Each structure stands twice: as C-alpha cells, then as structure tokens.
Amino acid sequence: MSTAGKVIKCKAAVAWEIKKPLVIEDIEVAPPKAHEVRIKILATGICRTDDHVLSGAFAVPLPMVLGHEAAGVVESVGEGVTCVKPGDHVIPLFVPQCGNCNPCKSTRGNLCYQNDISHVRGLMPDGTSRFTCKGKSLHHFISTSSFTEYTVVHENAVVKIDAAAPLEKVCLIGCGFSTGYGAAVQTAKVERGSTCAVFGLGGVGLSAVMGCKAAGASRIFAVDINPKKFPKALEVGATECVNPLDYKKPINEVLYDLTDGEGVDYSLEVIGRTDTMAAALASCHENYGTSVIVGIAPSVSEICFNPLLLFTGRTWKGSVFGGWKSKDAIPKLVSDFMGKKFVLDPLITHTLPFEKINEGFDMLRSGKSIRTILTF
Ligand code: COD
Ligand code: ZN
C-alpha cells in the first residue's frame, strides 16, 4: 500500500536535551509539501558535528532530529519536484544548492543562501517542521535530519546518485569524506610536492589526509593527541605522525623544526578548537602558507591571534563541505568511488543497527571509532 500523501509513523532518535542520550521515539513524518521530498533513510553515519549539538558546543533549537551524513531512497515527492522521483537512490545535502543565489551562481563559493548552518532555524525553508512526537513539533537539522527512518527535505537539499552504489558506504560522501577531501583538494588547493599538516584524525581529518595524498603532497604530517589514530592515518597516506603531547614545545614549533624551519605549505584544522586553529595557522609557511579551518569551534568562542601571522603573507581560509557545490559534486564523487578513485572502507570502523545509536556516540566520544554507520 502506498504511503504517498499520508503521514508516516516511524522510529527516530530524538535529541530532547543537551548532555542527554538520544531517545528512540515513535514520530509522525508529514507528507512532503510542494518542492519537498520524503526519503526513507537506509544508512547514516555519526559525525562529530552531531555530537557538537549534544555536547552543547553547537547551539541549535531543540527538540531536534539530528543526523546529516546519509543515503536513502525517495519514498514520495511533493508537487513540482522534478529532480528526483520515488525509488531513486539519493543523498541529502546539508549544504543545499538552489542554483539561483549569488554563491550558487559564483564559481568562488558553495555556501548556498538556502543553508541552515550559518543561522540554524531548524525548520524547512517555509518555516515549518514535518516531524511531530507526542504532540510536539521537532526541529530539522541542517536541511537533512537523518537519524530517523523517514525524513523530509527541500528539493534543493537532495541529489540522485547511481543506484548501484552501496548506500552504507557512500553515505559518507554526504559529509565526512567530502568535507575533508575537498578541504585539501579544493579549498587549500594542495599542490604536488608540497608539505601538509592535518590536525585531527577523525573521519573528516583522515579524508583530508587522503585529499593531500591525491593532490600529490610529498610530506603529510598527521597530528592528533590520540596515538591510536596513527596507524589508520599512515594507511590512508600520512607520511609522519605527530602527537603534540610528546613535546614540550608548542606543536607549531615542532612542525617548523620538522620542516627545517620552513613551516608546512598547507595546514588543515579538522578538530574544531580555537587553540588548534591558531596553532595550525602558525604552523604554515610564514610567507605563502595556507591554513584551512574545517572544524567549528563552540558557538560562543572567539579566537585571539597575532596579526603578524597574516601580515607576512599567510592565507587563512574556511571550508564548508569541502568547498563542493553539493548537487553538482556528489553524483560525481559517487561515480569516482564506484570507479575506485578513492576508498571509504578505512573510515568505517563500526556498523550498528539504528537502535544502538547511543553506543555509536559513546564510541566516537571515547575515540574508539572513526565512523559508525547505522543501518535501518
Ligand atoms: N590536538 C590534536 N588532536 C585533537 C585535539 C587536540 N587538541 N583534540 C582532539 N583531537 C583529535 C581527536 O583525538 C580526534 O581524533 C580528532 O581530533 C577529531 O575527530 P572526530 O572523530 O572527533 O571528528 P570528525 O572527523 O567526525 O569531525 C571533525 C570536525 C572538525 C568536522 C567536527 O568536529 C566539526 O567541527 N564540524 C563542524 C564543521 C562542519 O563542517 N560541519 C558540518 C558537517 S560536518
Ligand atoms: Zn558531518
């Protein structure tokens, strides 16, 4: 029996409060309105950004259905939707691509004005929610919300992918892989033969290491305070691993020493801390080094740095979703994965049934996992 046009009752992991486990609840998912798409989620990864909400570092309105790194199949579409149809395999886009705003039209940016990241409203573009639980409306998370059996997204925030692609792997192209890999190849524009330092070796940082390698970097320093991350970093392309806790000197001085006083050509901060953002900047070449911020620091924080670091010529940039224009890039990245141009397996350390989502968060927090994929 078709569910199109009807409210679907299903399971979702609801974030009611910060610093509390998610609660698996029965929720109602309304049918998609005009220009919206309802998706049956089949696989979703747990990313640190989801945990930033639960820790309180990333302030958003609650209650909310989190999750933003996912893949699924279209269940039904609202009026006027032409980009996907029921049965299509899709990836939801946490950075939408409307195609009409200045960033979408410019070749220089990818942060579509339809995004719900810069000022999180936690609602569909029309200002309403499609989720309810126990009579209460639940917020959507950064245009996606994937910790649920069914979600509704705007047509600007979903893209069709190759139906042959394994959803439990390519869901990572919806965030972690593309964010890290793109930060290196697109935002930093790492050059062949250059030296790089990647701060933070989670799923996103390891993907940045892969990007540095693919761009032909000759030395890639993998920096983390958890040495258990090092074997994996070496496996995906790092040439040297550095634990800041092994040194008395600040890590930027250590990296200068390791590069004969030059500093690295490119540094990428993939942790989300202001101290490591400043250290990454100070680690790159004084005159032509480029440092890219990939992490988001806690909502209330500010950064203090010596302006001389920039005056002498360094470039400091930020990167959202690896600089990719999401609708254009994701199907191509999926094809590249199918064509074996890069691997995703090293990033996936655990697979769990959706109901065990809180165990997945515990493993991320304890540093045991890189990516846990939840299947439905
Ligand atoms: N020095 C060195 N390494 C550190 C330090 C430190 N002081 N503190 C923590 N680390 C290491 C941890 O041991 C860990 O290995 C790594 O840093 C972080 O990895 P994860 O697994 O916690 O995180 P990821 O890879 O899932 O996500 C990292 C982000 C920076 C992307 C995330 O934290 C973030 O800030 N996201 C917001 C930015 C963004 O683009 N969001 C949109 C969707 S992701
Ligand atoms: Zn993410």
- Write down the number of H helices and E strands in the chain: 11, 18
Handedness of CA 230, 276, 172, 49 (dihedral sign): positive
pLDDT in the model for residue 299: 74
Query: Which residues does the chain have with pLDDT short of 70?
Result: none
CA of 344 to the centre of ligand 1 (A): 18
Nearest protein Cα to ligand 1, atom 12: 200
pLDDT in the model for residue 351: 98
What is the number of structural domains in the chain?
2
Based on the domain organization, do 25 and 128 belong to the same domain?
yes
Query: How big is the CA angle at 141 (ends 75 and 162), to the nearest 5 degrees?
Result: 40
pLDDT digits (tens, 9 = 90+) for 37-83: 999 999 999 999 999 999 999 999 999 999 999 999 999 999 999 99
Based on the domain organization, do 248 and 112 belong to the same domain?
no
Q: Which of 54, 143, 271 to mutate to test the pocket of ligand 1 (most atoms within 8 A of CB)?
A: 271
CA of 19 to the centre of ligand 1 (A): 18
pLDDT in the model for residue 296: 86
The answer to whether residue 352 sits within a structural domain is yes
Exposed e or buried b per residue across 120-147, where buried means at least 16 C-beta atoms within 10 angstroms of its C-beta: bebebbeeebbbebeeeebbbbbbbbbb
Based on the domain organization, do 21 and 170 belong to the same domain?
yes
Nearest protein Cα to ligand 1, atom 29: 295
The answer to whether residue 327 sits within a structural domain is no
Backbone angles phi, psi at 222, to 5 degrees: -105, 120
CA of 50 to the centre of ligand 2 (A): 7
Q: Which atom of ligand 1 is nearest to the CA of 117?
A: 42
pLDDT in the model for residue 301: 80
Based on the domain organization, do 308 and 349 belong to the same domain?
no
Based on the domain organization, do 184 and 291 belong to the same domain?
yes
Based on the domain organization, do 186 and 170 belong to the same domain?
no
The whole domain housing 270 covers: 180-319
Establish how many alpha carbons lie within 13 A of residue 49's alpha carbon, considering only the half-sphere containing its beta carbon. 23
Nearest protein Cα to ligand 1, atom 27: 48
The answer to whether residue 2 sits within a structural domain is no
Based on the domain organization, do 237 and 261 belong to the same domain?
yes
Please list all protein residues whose beta carbon sits less than 5 angstroms from ligand 2, which is an ion: 47, 49, 175
Provide the H-helix boundaries in the chain. 48-55, 102-105, 167-170, 176-182, 203-214, 230-236, 251-258, 274-283, 308-311, 326-338, 357-365
The answer to whether residue 328 sits within a structural domain is no
Establish how many alpha carbons lie within 13 A of residue 211's alpha carbon, considering only the half-sphere containing its beta carbon. 30
Q: Which atom of ligand 1 is nearest to the CA of 52?
A: 33
pLDDT digits (tens, 9 = 90+) for 342-363: 999 999 999 999 999 999 999 9
Q: Which atom of ligand 1 is nearest to the CA of 223?
A: 2
The answer to whether residue 335 sits within a structural domain is no
The answer to whether residue 69 sits within a structural domain is yes
What is the number of the ligand closest to the CA of 45? 2
Give the domain-ending residue among 272, 304, 319.
319
Based on the domain organization, do 56 and 21 belong to the same domain?
yes
Q: Domain holding 254: CATH number? A: 3.40.50.720
What is the number of the ligand closest to the CA of 172? 2
The amino acid present at 103, given as its one-letter code, is P
Based on the domain organization, do 265 and 217 belong to the same domain?
yes
Based on the domain organization, do 61 and 155 belong to the same domain?
yes
Q: Which of 48, 210, 364, 366 to mutate to test the pocket of ligand 1 (most atoms within 8 A of CB)?
A: 48
Based on the domain organization, do 224 and 312 belong to the same domain?
yes
Q: Which atom of ligand 1 is nearest to the CA of 320?
A: 40
Nearest protein Cα to ligand 1, atom 6: 225
Q: Which atom of ligand 1 is nearest to the CA of 51?
A: 33
Based on the domain organization, do 158 and 297 belong to the same domain?
no
What is the bridge-based pairing of β-strands 64-65 and 8-15? Answer: antiparallel
Pocket of ligand 1 (CB under 6 A): 47-49, 68, 94, 175-176, 179, 199-205, 223-226, 229, 244, 270-273, 276, 294-296, 320, 364, 367
The answer to whether residue 324 sits within a structural domain is no
pLDDT in the model for residue 298: 80
Q: Domain holding 153: CATH number? A: 3.90.180.10
